[in-house]
Chain A
Amino acid sequence: DAKTTQPNSMESNEEEPVHLPCNHSTISGTDYIHWYRQLPSQGPEYVIHGLTSNVNNRMASLAIAEDRKSSTLILHRATLRDAAVYYCILRVPNAGNNRKLIWGLGTSLAVNP
């Protein structure tokens, strides 16, 4: 299974942008890049996903490198409620188990007031 690598932890100040990096050098051509986050004592929550092009939604932006070997999740203005573990995940769409998410260990984001 393809793997992702993220920093263990990062810190940000409230109302500043946050760039969360992820390396996935063994990604295959059809693997989707997903990001989820897990707030304390809760289940994971979908943030965003993409294949090749950069993506924006109400929660965040996803910037994907041209060679697709890395990506960056961008939170435009961090709030205290964004403190969570952020997971960069690959999804293999053409396998029989085509909704399987391959989880890494995530980045624990602390947001300072």
Chain B
Amino acid sequence: EAQVTQNPRYLITVTGKKLTVTCSQNMNHEYMSWYRQDPGLGLRQIYYSMNVEVTDKGDVPEGYKVSRKEKRNFPLILESPSPNQTSLYFCASSPRDRRNTEAFFGQGTRLTVV
């Protein structure tokens, strides 16, 4: 089954404790991205990757890092989480084919930073 898998689904952590949210896709997609979803603000892109070893900032990259060492994985790293990073996070992937741009999203990771 084609899917994007995020882990964990729920996470409560304390300010300053480094954490990683994993994202994996099994569709051999080139493009992957991370979004955060906040009430009244919608989904905003954090980082994206056009292919292995190619990453770039989205609209709200501050406080986040990513890496793309393998095509299937695109982890989101919070080196020193703060309470304003409490949010619902989504990973997405889509193929490079210009004619097929459907994005597949994971189930989401609800992060609370206290």
Interfacial residues, chain A to chain B (CB-CB below 8 A): 32, 34, 36, 41-46, 49, 87, 91, 93, 96-97, 99-101, 103-106
Interfacial chain B residues near A41, Cβ < 8 Å: 108
CB of B45 closer than 8 Å to a CB of A:
yes
Some 15 contacts from A to B, beta carbons below 8 A apart, are A34-B101, A43-B4, A43-B107, A44-B90, A44-B103, A87-B42, A93-B98, A99-B48, A100-B33, A100-B45, A100-B48, A103-B43, A103-B44, A104-B42, A105-B40
Q: With A103-B42, A103-B43, A106-B42 known to touch, is A44 a contact of B58 (CB < 8 Å)?
A: no
Q: With A97-B58, A103-B44, A105-B42 known to touch, is A45 a contact of B105 (CB < 8 Å)?
A: yes
CB of B79 closer than 8 Å to a CB of A:
no
Contact A97 B102 (CB under 8 A): no
Interfacial residues, chain B to chain A (CB-CB below 8 A): 4, 31, 33, 35, 40, 42-45, 48, 56, 58, 90, 92, 94, 98, 101-108
> Is chain B's binding surface mostly helix, strand, loop or mixed?
strand
Q: Which of B33, B42, B45, B90 contacts A43 (CB 8 A)?
A: B90
- How many A-B residue pairs lie within 8 Å, measured between CB atoms? 55
How many Å lie between the Cα of A36 and that of B35 in the bound state?
Answer: 14
- Give B6 Cβ to nearest chain A Cβ, in Å: 8
- Give A73 Cβ to nearest chain B Cβ, in Å: 15
Contact A43 B106 (CB under 8 A): yes
Which residue on chain A has the smallest CB distance to residue B105? A43
How many Å lie between the Cα of A87 and that of B4 in the bound state?
Answer: 20
Contact B43 A97 (CB under 8 A): no
- Give B9 Cβ to nearest chain A Cβ, in Å: 10
Interfacial chain B residues near A105, Cβ < 8 Å: 40, 42
